[in-house]
Structure 1
Amino acid sequence: MPDPAYLTAVRDSYDTVAAAYAELVPKPSELDPLSRGMLEAFAETVRRSAPGPVADLGCGPGQVTAHLADLGLPAFGVDLSAGMVGLARRAYPHLRFVRSSMTALGLGDGVLGGILAWYSTHHTPSAELPALFAEFHRTLAPGGHLLWGCHIGDEHRRPARGYGHPVSYEWHLLPVERVAELLERAGLVVVARLVQEPEGRLTRSHACLVARKT
Protein backbone atom coordinates (compact mmCIF):
# COMPACT_ATOMS: atom_id res chain seq x y z
CA MET A 1 0.00 0.00 0.00
CA PRO A 2 1.37 3.48 -0.84
CA ASP A 3 1.85 5.95 1.98
CA PRO A 4 -0.96 8.44 2.59
CA ALA A 5 -0.40 11.71 0.77
CA TYR A 6 0.40 13.62 3.96
CA LEU A 7 3.21 11.19 4.85
CA THR A 8 4.66 11.44 1.35
CA ALA A 9 4.66 15.23 1.67
CA VAL A 10 6.37 15.07 5.06
CA ARG A 11 9.01 12.61 3.84
CA ASP A 12 9.82 14.52 0.66
CA SER A 13 9.84 17.90 2.40
CA TYR A 14 12.20 16.83 5.16
CA ASP A 15 14.49 15.08 2.69
CA THR A 16 14.74 18.48 0.98
CA VAL A 17 15.36 20.57 4.09
CA ALA A 18 17.40 18.07 6.15
CA ALA A 19 20.76 19.84 6.02
CA ALA A 20 19.28 23.30 6.62
CA TYR A 21 17.09 21.97 9.43
CA ALA A 22 20.10 20.50 11.23
CA GLU A 23 21.82 23.89 11.09
CA LEU A 24 18.84 26.08 12.02
CA VAL A 25 16.93 24.15 14.69
CA PRO A 26 18.15 24.86 18.25
CA LYS A 27 20.17 22.14 19.92
CA PRO A 28 18.87 20.83 23.27
CA SER A 29 21.40 22.99 25.12
CA GLU A 30 19.94 26.06 23.37
CA LEU A 31 16.32 25.40 24.35
CA ASP A 32 14.54 27.55 26.91
CA PRO A 33 14.95 26.37 30.52
CA LEU A 34 11.41 25.00 30.83
CA SER A 35 11.70 22.84 27.71
CA ARG A 36 15.08 21.54 28.85
CA GLY A 37 13.55 20.81 32.23
CA MET A 38 10.72 18.80 30.68
CA LEU A 39 13.19 16.63 28.79
CA GLU A 40 15.22 16.06 31.95
CA ALA A 41 12.13 15.28 34.01
CA PHE A 42 10.93 12.85 31.34
CA ALA A 43 14.28 11.05 31.39
CA GLU A 44 14.21 10.69 35.17
CA THR A 45 10.58 9.53 35.15
CA VAL A 46 11.26 6.85 32.54
CA ARG A 47 14.36 5.62 34.34
CA ARG A 48 12.30 5.11 37.50
CA SER A 49 9.07 3.75 36.05
CA ALA A 50 9.57 1.34 33.14
CA PRO A 51 12.50 -0.59 31.70
CA GLY A 52 12.93 -0.81 27.97
CA PRO A 53 14.20 1.31 25.10
CA VAL A 54 13.00 4.85 24.47
CA ALA A 55 11.92 5.88 20.97
CA ASP A 56 12.44 9.45 19.78
CA LEU A 57 9.77 9.62 17.08
CA GLY A 58 10.41 12.13 14.33
CA CYS A 59 13.99 12.38 15.54
CA GLY A 60 15.27 14.52 12.67
CA PRO A 61 19.08 14.83 12.72
CA GLY A 62 19.29 13.06 16.08
CA GLN A 63 20.25 15.89 18.40
CA VAL A 64 17.49 15.23 20.93
CA THR A 65 17.99 11.46 20.69
CA ALA A 66 21.62 11.97 21.66
CA HIS A 67 20.53 14.26 24.50
CA LEU A 68 18.24 11.54 25.87
CA ALA A 69 21.12 9.08 25.69
CA ASP A 70 23.30 11.55 27.61
CA LEU A 71 20.54 11.69 30.24
CA GLY A 72 20.90 7.94 30.75
CA LEU A 73 18.14 6.55 28.54
CA PRO A 74 18.57 3.68 26.04
CA ALA A 75 17.29 5.94 23.29
CA PHE A 76 16.99 5.34 19.57
CA GLY A 77 15.59 7.53 16.81
CA VAL A 78 12.87 6.99 14.22
CA ASP A 79 12.24 9.28 11.26
CA LEU A 80 10.34 9.07 7.99
CA SER A 81 13.01 11.01 6.11
CA ALA A 82 16.01 9.09 4.80
CA GLY A 83 17.89 12.39 4.62
CA MET A 84 17.34 13.03 8.31
CA VAL A 85 18.27 9.48 9.30
CA GLY A 86 21.47 9.74 7.27
CA LEU A 87 22.48 12.93 9.07
CA ALA A 88 21.71 11.38 12.45
CA ARG A 89 23.70 8.24 11.75
CA ARG A 90 26.74 10.24 10.65
CA ALA A 91 26.58 12.60 13.63
CA TYR A 92 25.91 9.90 16.26
CA PRO A 93 27.26 6.58 14.96
CA HIS A 94 27.06 5.02 18.44
CA LEU A 95 23.24 5.34 18.45
CA ARG A 96 20.56 3.54 16.46
CA PHE A 97 18.41 5.40 13.95
CA VAL A 98 15.64 3.76 11.92
CA ARG A 99 13.83 5.06 8.84
CA SER A 100 10.18 4.33 9.53
CA SER A 101 6.83 5.98 10.11
CA MET A 102 5.64 6.66 13.64
CA THR A 103 2.19 5.57 12.43
CA ALA A 104 3.40 1.94 12.04
CA LEU A 105 6.53 1.38 14.09
CA GLY A 106 7.01 -2.31 13.36
CA LEU A 107 7.65 -2.98 17.05
CA GLY A 108 6.07 -5.54 19.34
CA ASP A 109 3.38 -4.70 21.86
CA GLY A 110 4.56 -3.12 25.10
CA VAL A 111 8.27 -3.03 24.28
CA LEU A 112 9.05 0.65 24.88
CA GLY A 113 9.81 2.19 28.23
CA GLY A 114 9.20 5.66 26.82
CA ILE A 115 8.26 7.63 23.73
CA LEU A 116 9.31 11.16 22.88
CA ALA A 117 7.21 12.98 20.27
CA TRP A 118 9.02 16.31 20.22
CA TYR A 119 7.56 18.69 17.63
CA SER A 120 6.83 15.76 15.35
CA THR A 121 3.03 15.28 15.27
CA HIS A 122 1.89 18.66 13.93
CA HIS A 123 2.04 17.46 10.31
CA THR A 124 -0.48 14.73 11.12
CA PRO A 125 -4.08 15.60 10.21
CA SER A 126 -6.27 15.69 13.31
CA ALA A 127 -8.42 12.85 11.95
CA GLU A 128 -5.33 10.61 11.95
CA LEU A 129 -4.23 11.39 15.53
CA PRO A 130 -6.40 8.71 17.21
CA ALA A 131 -4.66 6.00 15.19
CA LEU A 132 -1.26 7.57 15.84
CA PHE A 133 -1.82 7.75 19.59
CA ALA A 134 -3.16 4.18 19.56
CA GLU A 135 0.19 3.11 18.08
CA PHE A 136 1.96 4.95 20.91
CA HIS A 137 -0.23 3.12 23.42
CA ARG A 138 0.32 -0.27 21.76
CA THR A 139 4.10 -0.05 21.81
CA LEU A 140 4.50 1.42 25.31
CA ALA A 141 4.99 -0.96 28.22
CA PRO A 142 2.59 -0.71 31.17
CA GLY A 143 3.90 2.16 33.27
CA GLY A 144 5.75 3.61 30.28
CA HIS A 145 5.58 7.34 29.58
CA LEU A 146 5.10 9.60 26.59
CA LEU A 147 6.44 13.14 26.42
CA TRP A 148 4.62 15.08 23.71
CA GLY A 149 5.79 18.58 22.86
CA CYS A 150 4.50 20.80 20.08
CA HIS A 151 3.15 24.14 18.97
CA ILE A 152 -0.49 24.61 19.89
CA GLY A 153 -3.40 26.62 18.52
CA ASP A 154 -6.41 26.18 16.31
CA GLU A 155 -4.92 26.52 12.85
CA HIS A 156 -4.30 24.70 9.59
CA ARG A 157 -1.32 26.06 7.67
CA ARG A 158 0.04 25.28 4.22
CA PRO A 159 3.50 26.87 4.07
CA ALA A 160 5.16 27.10 0.69
CA ARG A 161 8.65 27.22 2.15
CA GLY A 162 10.41 25.96 5.24
CA TYR A 163 14.02 26.32 6.38
CA GLY A 164 14.75 28.19 3.16
CA HIS A 165 13.41 25.51 0.79
CA PRO A 166 10.12 24.64 -0.92
CA VAL A 167 7.99 22.25 1.15
CA SER A 168 4.67 20.48 0.65
CA TYR A 169 3.80 19.44 4.21
CA GLU A 170 0.96 21.04 6.17
CA TRP A 171 0.66 22.10 9.79
CA HIS A 172 -2.31 21.03 11.91
CA LEU A 173 -2.26 22.87 15.24
CA LEU A 174 -4.72 21.94 17.99
CA PRO A 175 -5.50 23.35 21.44
CA VAL A 176 -3.62 21.50 24.15
CA GLU A 177 -6.92 20.43 25.74
CA ARG A 178 -7.86 18.61 22.53
CA VAL A 179 -4.52 16.80 22.35
CA ALA A 180 -4.86 15.75 25.99
CA GLU A 181 -8.36 14.44 25.28
CA LEU A 182 -7.13 12.36 22.35
CA LEU A 183 -4.31 10.90 24.43
CA GLU A 184 -6.74 9.97 27.19
CA ARG A 185 -9.05 8.29 24.67
CA ALA A 186 -6.07 6.23 23.47
CA GLY A 187 -5.51 4.99 27.03
CA LEU A 188 -2.68 7.36 27.93
CA VAL A 189 -3.33 9.20 31.19
CA VAL A 190 -2.03 12.77 31.18
CA VAL A 191 -0.11 13.33 34.41
CA ALA A 192 1.53 16.70 33.70
CA ARG A 193 1.24 19.60 31.29
CA LEU A 194 3.19 22.76 30.57
CA VAL A 195 1.94 25.61 28.37
CA GLN A 196 4.26 28.42 27.34
CA GLU A 197 3.17 31.64 25.71
CA PRO A 198 5.26 33.53 23.12
CA GLU A 199 8.17 35.27 24.77
CA GLY A 200 11.74 35.96 23.69
CA ARG A 201 12.78 33.30 21.20
CA LEU A 202 9.39 31.57 21.52
CA THR A 203 7.41 33.00 18.62
CA ARG A 204 4.19 31.01 19.18
CA SER A 205 2.45 29.16 22.00
CA HIS A 206 3.62 25.64 22.66
CA ALA A 207 2.96 22.91 25.18
CA CYS A 208 4.33 19.73 26.68
CA LEU A 209 2.22 16.83 27.94
CA VAL A 210 3.46 13.85 29.94
CA ALA A 211 1.19 10.80 29.70
CA ARG A 212 1.44 7.34 31.24
CA LYS A 213 0.20 3.98 30.04
CA THR A 214 -1.52 2.44 33.04
Structure 2
Amino acid sequence: MIESSLDATRTAYDAIAVLYADLFRNALDEAPLDRAIIGAFADLVRPGGGQVADLGCGPGPNTAYLNSLGVPAFGIDLSPTMIELARKEFPDLRFEEGSMTALDLADGAVGGVLAWYSIIHLPPEELPAVFAEFGRVLAPGGHLLLGFFTTDDEAPHPTEPFDHKVTTAYRLSIDHVADLARGAGLVEVARMRREPGENERFLHGRLLVRRPAE
Protein backbone atom coordinates (compact mmCIF):
# COMPACT_ATOMS: atom_id res chain seq x y z
CA MET A 1 0.00 0.00 0.00
CA ILE A 2 2.79 2.43 0.86
CA GLU A 3 4.33 2.27 -2.62
CA SER A 4 1.03 3.04 -4.34
CA SER A 5 0.47 5.90 -1.89
CA LEU A 6 3.94 7.31 -2.57
CA ASP A 7 3.42 7.01 -6.32
CA ALA A 8 0.11 8.88 -6.08
CA THR A 9 1.65 11.63 -3.96
CA ARG A 10 4.65 11.99 -6.28
CA THR A 11 2.45 12.22 -9.38
CA ALA A 12 0.07 14.70 -7.78
CA TYR A 13 2.81 17.07 -6.63
CA ASP A 14 4.70 16.82 -9.91
CA ALA A 15 1.54 18.03 -11.64
CA ILE A 16 1.10 21.17 -9.49
CA ALA A 17 4.74 21.91 -8.62
CA VAL A 18 5.03 25.22 -10.48
CA LEU A 19 1.76 26.57 -9.06
CA TYR A 20 2.69 25.35 -5.58
CA ALA A 21 6.06 27.09 -5.75
CA ASP A 22 4.39 30.36 -6.71
CA LEU A 23 1.73 30.13 -4.01
CA PHE A 24 4.00 29.19 -1.10
CA ARG A 25 7.25 30.97 -1.97
CA ASN A 26 6.68 33.62 0.73
CA ALA A 27 4.35 31.70 3.05
CA LEU A 28 6.50 32.26 6.15
CA ASP A 29 6.40 36.03 5.63
CA GLU A 30 2.75 35.98 6.69
CA ALA A 31 3.11 33.41 9.49
CA PRO A 32 4.91 34.90 12.52
CA LEU A 33 4.13 31.97 14.82
CA ASP A 34 5.52 29.51 12.28
CA ARG A 35 8.66 31.62 11.88
CA ALA A 36 8.99 31.68 15.66
CA ILE A 37 8.91 27.92 16.15
CA ILE A 38 11.17 27.26 13.16
CA GLY A 39 13.50 29.91 14.58
CA ALA A 40 13.49 28.19 17.97
CA PHE A 41 14.25 24.88 16.23
CA ALA A 42 17.18 26.57 14.44
CA ASP A 43 18.47 27.93 17.76
CA LEU A 44 18.41 24.43 19.24
CA VAL A 45 20.17 22.66 16.38
CA ARG A 46 22.69 25.36 15.46
CA PRO A 47 25.11 24.82 18.38
CA GLY A 48 25.58 21.18 17.44
CA GLY A 49 26.86 22.17 14.02
CA GLY A 50 25.25 19.19 12.28
CA GLN A 51 23.25 19.31 9.09
CA VAL A 52 19.47 19.52 9.10
CA ALA A 53 17.30 17.53 6.69
CA ASP A 54 14.17 19.30 5.43
CA LEU A 55 12.03 16.28 4.54
CA GLY A 56 9.28 16.97 2.05
CA CYS A 57 11.04 20.22 1.19
CA GLY A 58 8.95 20.97 -1.90
CA PRO A 59 10.46 23.86 -3.89
CA GLY A 60 12.80 24.66 -1.01
CA PRO A 61 11.70 27.88 0.78
CA ASN A 62 11.97 26.42 4.27
CA THR A 63 15.36 24.89 3.48
CA ALA A 64 16.53 28.31 2.38
CA TYR A 65 15.01 29.94 5.48
CA LEU A 66 16.91 27.58 7.77
CA ASN A 67 20.13 28.37 5.93
CA SER A 68 19.42 32.09 6.36
CA LEU A 69 19.29 31.42 10.12
CA GLY A 70 22.75 29.90 10.05
CA VAL A 71 21.67 26.26 9.91
CA PRO A 72 23.30 24.05 7.24
CA ALA A 73 20.11 22.55 5.84
CA PHE A 74 19.45 20.42 2.77
CA GLY A 75 16.18 19.27 1.24
CA ILE A 76 14.70 15.92 0.27
CA ASP A 77 11.42 15.51 -1.59
CA LEU A 78 9.48 12.74 -3.28
CA SER A 79 8.68 14.87 -6.33
CA PRO A 80 11.44 15.20 -8.95
CA THR A 81 9.75 18.31 -10.33
CA MET A 82 9.81 19.94 -6.90
CA ILE A 83 13.52 19.12 -6.59
CA GLU A 84 14.18 20.60 -10.03
CA LEU A 85 12.43 23.83 -9.04
CA ALA A 86 14.28 23.98 -5.71
CA ARG A 87 17.65 23.60 -7.41
CA LYS A 88 16.81 26.40 -9.85
CA GLU A 89 15.55 28.74 -7.14
CA PHE A 90 18.35 28.01 -4.65
CA PRO A 91 21.35 26.82 -6.69
CA ASP A 92 23.76 27.08 -3.75
CA LEU A 93 21.80 24.61 -1.64
CA ARG A 94 21.59 20.82 -1.77
CA PHE A 95 18.36 19.13 -2.82
CA GLU A 96 17.83 15.42 -3.43
CA GLU A 97 14.95 13.23 -4.55
CA GLY A 98 13.98 10.68 -1.94
CA SER A 99 11.35 9.35 0.45
CA MET A 100 11.15 9.69 4.22
CA THR A 101 10.01 6.06 4.33
CA ALA A 102 13.56 4.96 3.43
CA LEU A 103 16.07 7.79 3.78
CA ASP A 104 19.43 7.48 2.07
CA LEU A 105 21.14 8.76 5.22
CA ALA A 106 23.40 7.01 7.69
CA ASP A 107 22.35 6.37 11.28
CA GLY A 108 22.76 9.55 13.31
CA ALA A 109 23.71 11.54 10.21
CA VAL A 110 21.83 14.77 10.96
CA GLY A 111 21.50 17.13 13.87
CA GLY A 112 17.94 18.01 13.01
CA VAL A 113 14.94 17.07 10.89
CA LEU A 114 12.19 19.41 9.71
CA ALA A 115 9.05 17.65 8.47
CA TRP A 116 6.70 20.53 7.62
CA TYR A 117 3.33 19.19 6.44
CA SER A 118 5.06 16.21 4.86
CA ILE A 119 3.67 13.45 7.11
CA ILE A 120 0.06 14.35 6.31
CA HIS A 121 -0.04 12.32 3.08
CA LEU A 122 1.20 9.08 4.62
CA PRO A 123 -1.30 6.31 5.38
CA PRO A 124 -1.72 6.31 9.17
CA GLU A 125 -0.55 2.71 9.49
CA GLU A 126 2.80 3.68 7.93
CA LEU A 127 3.57 6.47 10.39
CA PRO A 128 5.29 4.35 13.09
CA ALA A 129 7.88 3.15 10.57
CA VAL A 130 8.46 6.71 9.34
CA PHE A 131 8.98 7.98 12.88
CA ALA A 132 11.44 5.15 13.46
CA GLU A 133 13.29 6.42 10.39
CA PHE A 134 13.32 9.94 11.85
CA GLY A 135 14.83 8.58 15.05
CA ARG A 136 17.38 6.52 13.14
CA VAL A 137 18.88 9.42 11.20
CA LEU A 138 18.94 11.87 14.11
CA ALA A 139 22.19 12.20 16.01
CA PRO A 140 21.97 11.88 19.80
CA GLY A 141 20.65 15.18 21.10
CA GLY A 142 19.21 16.07 17.68
CA HIS A 143 15.78 17.65 17.25
CA LEU A 144 12.77 16.95 15.03
CA LEU A 145 10.16 19.63 14.26
CA LEU A 146 6.86 18.60 12.71
CA GLY A 147 4.12 20.75 11.20
CA PHE A 148 0.75 19.24 10.28
CA PHE A 149 -2.97 19.83 10.15
CA THR A 150 -4.48 18.81 13.46
CA THR A 151 -7.83 18.06 15.09
CA ASP A 152 -9.73 19.70 17.92
CA ASP A 153 -10.15 18.17 21.36
CA GLU A 154 -13.52 16.67 20.46
CA ALA A 155 -12.30 14.69 17.46
CA PRO A 156 -13.40 11.05 17.73
CA HIS A 157 -10.30 9.63 16.02
CA PRO A 158 -6.58 10.50 16.15
CA THR A 159 -6.37 10.56 12.34
CA GLU A 160 -9.01 12.04 10.05
CA PRO A 161 -8.85 12.02 6.23
CA PHE A 162 -9.85 15.22 4.49
CA ASP A 163 -10.24 16.58 0.99
CA HIS A 164 -6.77 18.01 0.44
CA LYS A 165 -6.49 19.96 -2.81
CA VAL A 166 -3.54 17.91 -4.09
CA THR A 167 -3.94 14.32 -2.90
CA THR A 168 -5.16 12.15 -0.02
CA ALA A 169 -4.24 13.67 3.34
CA TYR A 170 -4.96 13.31 7.05
CA ARG A 171 -5.41 15.56 10.04
CA LEU A 172 -3.53 14.19 13.04
CA SER A 173 -4.13 14.88 16.71
CA ILE A 174 -1.11 16.34 18.49
CA ASP A 175 -1.34 13.64 21.16
CA HIS A 176 -1.19 10.97 18.47
CA VAL A 177 1.87 12.53 16.82
CA ALA A 178 3.51 12.78 20.25
CA ASP A 179 2.76 9.08 20.86
CA LEU A 180 4.35 8.19 17.51
CA ALA A 181 7.46 10.16 18.42
CA ARG A 182 7.61 8.54 21.85
CA GLY A 183 7.35 5.12 20.23
CA ALA A 184 10.44 5.98 18.18
CA GLY A 185 12.41 6.83 21.34
CA LEU A 186 12.03 10.61 20.98
CA VAL A 187 11.26 12.97 23.84
CA GLU A 188 8.76 15.82 23.61
CA VAL A 189 10.16 19.33 24.01
CA ALA A 190 7.22 21.56 23.04
CA ARG A 191 3.93 21.61 21.19
CA MET A 192 1.71 24.30 19.69
CA ARG A 193 -1.75 24.42 18.16
CA ARG A 194 -2.84 27.52 16.28
CA GLU A 195 -6.17 28.53 14.87
CA PRO A 196 -6.76 28.63 11.11
CA GLY A 197 -5.74 31.88 9.49
CA GLU A 198 -7.65 33.73 6.82
CA ASN A 199 -8.55 31.37 3.96
CA GLU A 200 -7.44 28.34 6.03
CA ARG A 201 -9.82 25.54 6.99
CA PHE A 202 -8.12 23.60 9.76
CA LEU A 203 -6.23 23.87 13.02
CA HIS A 204 -2.46 23.60 12.73
CA GLY A 205 -0.25 21.49 14.99
CA ARG A 206 3.47 21.78 15.70
CA LEU A 207 5.47 19.30 17.73
CA LEU A 208 9.14 19.62 18.69
CA VAL A 209 10.91 16.49 19.95
CA ARG A 210 14.50 15.37 20.44
CA ARG A 211 16.54 12.21 20.48
CA PRO A 212 18.03 11.77 23.95
CA ALA A 213 21.77 12.32 24.25
CA GLU A 214 23.67 9.09 24.79
Q: TM-score, normalised by structure 1?
A: 0.91
Q: What number of residue pairs does the alignment pair up?
A: 205
Residue matched to 1:155: 160
Q: Between 133-142 and 198-207, report the one with greater CA deviation.
A: 198-207
Distance 2:124 2:168 in 1: 11
Residue matched to 2:91: 93
- Structure 2 CA distance for partners of 1:100 and 1:43, relative to 1, 3 Å: same
Shift of 1:61: 0.3
Residue matched to 2:170: 172
List runs of 5+ in structure 1 lacking aligned partners.
none
Distance 1:53 1:21 in 2: 26
Shift of 1:200: 3.2
Residue matched to 2:42: 43
Shift of 1:202: 4.1
2:101 aligns with one of 100, 103, 111 = 103
Q: TM-score, normalised by structure 2?
A: 0.91
- What secondary structure, in the 3-state scheme, does the structure 2 residue paired with 1:4 have? helix
CA RMSD of aligned residues (A): 1.6
List runs of 5+ in structure 2 lacking aligned partners.
152-158
Answer yes or no: is the 8 Å Cα contact 2:112–2:138 preserved in 1: yes
- The reply to whether residue 133 of structure 1 matches residue 138 of structure 2 is no
Moved over 4 A (4+): none
- Select the structure with the greater relative contact order (CA < 8 A; seq sep ≥ 6): 1
Shift of 1:203: 3.1
Distance 1:44 1:198 in 2: 26
Shift of 1:174: 1.5
1:188-203 matches, within 5 Å, as: 188-203=186-201
Shift of 1:28: 4.7
Shift of 1:3: 6.5
Answer yes or no: is the 8 Å Cα contact 2:2–2:126 preserved in 1: no
